[in-house]
Amino acid sequence: MEWSFLSYPWGPSSPAYGGGARAEIRQLRSIAAGDTSNSIEISGSNHIGTHIDFPRHFCRTGHDVLGYRPEDFLFPRVVLFWFDDLGRKLISPELLASARVAGNLATADICLVRTGASRYRDAPAYWSDGPGLAPGLGDWLRAQSPSVRAIGVDAISASAFWDRDSGRKIHRELLCHDARPLLIIEDMNLEPLSKKAPQELVALPLRIEGGDGAPCTIIARLTRE
């Protein structure tokens, strides 16, 4: 068993949805410049880099990050759907049936979908032509598993930029369900799972006041398949 990061470092290297403004890091104090300590200032959207979308993102009365308990970010049972290179498609239940699967969806706490999009994360195509989630997927996941609480993807967003109407619908379907909202984790690094299966996952968000979304650090315990 070993632990691995499934999240990217947060900073200017993180692409922004729609080609928007990236995060910025500015040196405030520098020992090399004669200061007694080093410090930096960071700024950027709460939806840049590996991050969690909370219900407040699309639902007027939904919880933000502070509405969740510590244990809500622990996922002891993981299912992984693996596509070698999904391309410019919306991920439907029918499409998931064609993926390689590790784990059991019926008992899973979190569903991960590896699309292969991260291989061009440094190119504009990552946000302009990447895959997204299809409307209907959220209701299907709830029907398949009584325990699933989140879905994570290696695409920049659950919303494909080339079909934003479908993207808005699936965000609301996942996040705005009265009884079982499903968290969305976007821009994940799922490449460490190419030859190893995730046994459990921890996704710890930055607890931002009023945060409808929050950058997060994700670690997973892996075992060889």
pLDDT one digit per residue (tens) for the chain, 225 residues: 799 999 999 999 999 999 999 999 999 999 999 999 999 999 999 999 999 999 999 999 999 999 999 999 999 999 999 999 999 999 999 999 999 999 999 999 999 999 999 999 999 999 999 999 999 999 999 999 999 999 999 999 999 999 999 999 999 999 999 999 999 999 999 999 998 999 999 999 999 999 999 999 999 999 876
Q: Which residue, 55, 32, 39, is CA-closest to 149? A: 55
Res 225: pLDDT? 61
Contact present, 63 and 108 (Cβ < 8 Å): no
**pLDDT (0 to 100) of residue 1:** 79
pLDDT at 23 (0 to 100): 97
CB atoms within 10 A of CB 8: 20
Query: Residue ranges of the alpha helices (H) in the chain?
Result: 93-96, 125-128, 137-144, 164-175
Buried b (16+ CB within 10 A) or exposed e, 95-106: bbeebeebbebe
Do 179 and 141 contact (CB within 8 A), yes or no? no
DSSP conformation class of 8: P
Q: What is 2-10+46-224's CATH topology?
A: Glucose Oxidase; domain 1 (3.50.30)
**What sign does the dihedral 25-116-168-202 (CA atoms) show?**
negative
CB 195 within 8 A of CB 224: yes
Q: 167, 203, 179, 187: which is closest to 57 by C-alpha?
A: 167
Q: Which amino acid is at 89?
A: K
C-alpha triplet 11, 13, 17: angle, nearest 5°: 90
